[in-house]
Structure 1
Amino acid sequence: MGRGRVQLKRIENKINRQVTFSKRRSGLLKKAHEISVLCDAQVALMVFSSKGKLFEYATESCMERILERYERYSFTEIQCATDEIQQNGNWTWEHAKLKARMETLQRNLRHYEGEDIQNLSLRELQNLEQQLDSALKRIRSKKNQLMVESISEFQKKDKELQEQNNILAKKLKEKEKTNVEQAHWQLNNNCQDSSSMLLPLNISSNGREKEDNETTNSGVLLPWMIRHHLE
């Protein structure tokens, strides 16, 4: 059978207790040194015997520096815990304030809508009426302002459209005038071309009449005149 588990309790025999303390102390210091070397950790170990004797181990014999670091860490932890508690308290207070504020706003909103006003006093009803009147005046003022701005914007757009219309009408008139001038110019050119084509024909006709007269006066008939008489 295997060895049973040793029950941990105070050793009553003084000699045995001293021997066990010496053995366990040496083993504990050895383990502290091993974890410091193997894991590159800073270890500080302090053991007080039952008689008040101190046994200690510190990495690289820097007990004071390790203790200072421990104190700074402990102070930081305590400060963080204190700040967290204080912050939680502040958040609780802020939550209560916001909750009360929200309830007040919801109640006022119901009053503005004409609900839950049965329990209001005369002064509270008068204050509510004044608040509604002030709100109505602000709403009307804002509405009138928006209407004036809209009318001004429409007038501005109408003016711009009118200017664009005038510009287009002016361009259209100029184009019509140009088309009329081009038509007159083309008509004049056509008339001049027709006159230049008819002028040689008139000259030729006048020459033939003159030749006919001369032939008649001389008493000699040309061949084409003979054919004309025979016909």
Structure 2
Amino acid sequence: MVRGKIEIKKIENATSRLVTFSKRRSGLFKKAHELSVLCDAQVSAIVFSQSGRLYEFSSSEMEKIIERYGRFSNFFVAERPQVERYLQELKKEMDRMVKKINFLEVNQQKLMGQGLGSCSLAELQDIDSQIEKSLSIVRSRKAELYADELKKLKGKERELLNERSSLREEQIRESLMRPVEPLTLYICDKDKTEGGHCRTKHSSEVETDLFIGLPVTRLEHISHVP
């Protein structure tokens, strides 16, 4: 059977009130003992009955706990005005921060072009000045980024040109160091060679009119050739 919920109010019947007091007092002390054992806490409970009789429970010496409570209660009583002033200062600071946040939000909306209907001409001019200043800063930063990017690209271009020049010089050195095979000529003279056979001459045996020099000097050389 489910027990009904008891209404918390003074019990008018004296006998029932004494019985309830005895039961609840025992339950209170039992819970205090469990709390002290489970949580390793110092627990004390002091109860005065309606007739003025004292009932108490303490997990350790009652006098030491009362003395400790007196020290803490006096400390909190002495520090209470300071705590209240500190709380008031915190409340004032919180109000200032809320107002500042609201002002910044409204100002941001105006910079975004919202809520300009209630702005005066001076406020609109101030907003325009702020926007122009912000745009100038943004454009300056954008130009710096472009300049840095262009500098990096020019550096890469120089590296590629240097690499290309190095490859070309290497190819030229390899071509100069490659050995040249002697040139072999086949000369056929049917009038002077019997049977029409060809004579073989190497490049070192062939007489040519190759001449290195200025054009005028070459013409003089040709005119003196027999």
Q: If you compute each CA radius of gyration, which structure gives the higher value, 1 or 2?
A: 1
TM-score by length of 1: 0.47
Per residue, is there more strand in 1 or in 2? 2
Question: Higher helix share goes to which structure?
Answer: 1
